[in-house]
Structure 1
């Protein structure tokens, strides 16, 4: 299993798109740790205009991973790309992000209140 870190913030639709592509294109089991940047001034300054930023265990960063070709290239360079899924994805639609503990309203993502899950 590989460990990846995603620098994100609540309501980031590009982050959701990256997560959806990652779930389709990664050929290896992965654990994704999400780091909320809005709660830390240093992280906000470093990643604020760059999110989503995906980082591997070696500290190598990927910006704009929501663009499937960039993510596919990054995964392939590490031997983590599901080639068949990538070929299929090139012929079809973009993956739709799964809603896990969140709901969409007026184009924005909100956490689902307790008891509604």
Structure 2
């Protein structure tokens, strides 16, 4: 299991985006330590305008990791990227048509314009 550190702050939507991408793209088990920078003036000075910053066990940093291409390249350089997940994400980001999922309306429901209505 690899250990990663994420420099973050409360309510950081970019940090949440990076974490969601990491779940999708990382092919190896990992433990993520979140470090709140607002509790330490030195950390705010160092990371304040760069968060989210992801750091590996060797101390190599990735800032702006919420950009899928940057995170994918960083993971690939370490042999940690899930290639199939990365290809699927690239298709999704490029707007390539994904297979359409069809669903049947529940009993007693009708379906109009892709929405289900009960009764």
TM-score when normalising by structure 1: 0.78
Extract unaligned runs of 5+ from structure 2.
94-119
Partner of 2:114: none
Q: Distance in 2 between matches of 1:30 and 1:2?
A: 5
Secondary structure (helix, strand or coil) at the match of 2:6 reads: strand
- Summarize the alignment of residues 3-82 of structure 1 with structure 2, pairs less than 5 Å apart: 3-82=3-82
Secondary structure (helix, strand or coil) at the match of 2:22 reads: helix
Higher RCO by CA contacts (8 Å cutoff, separation 6 or greater): 1
Deviations 1:27-78 (A, max 9, x none): 0000000000000001010000000000000000001000000000000000
Q: Distance in 2 between matches of 1:37 and 1:26?
A: 24
Deviation at 1:92, TM superposition (A): 1.8
Extract unaligned runs of 5+ from structure 1.
94-117
- Count residues with an aligned counterpart: 93
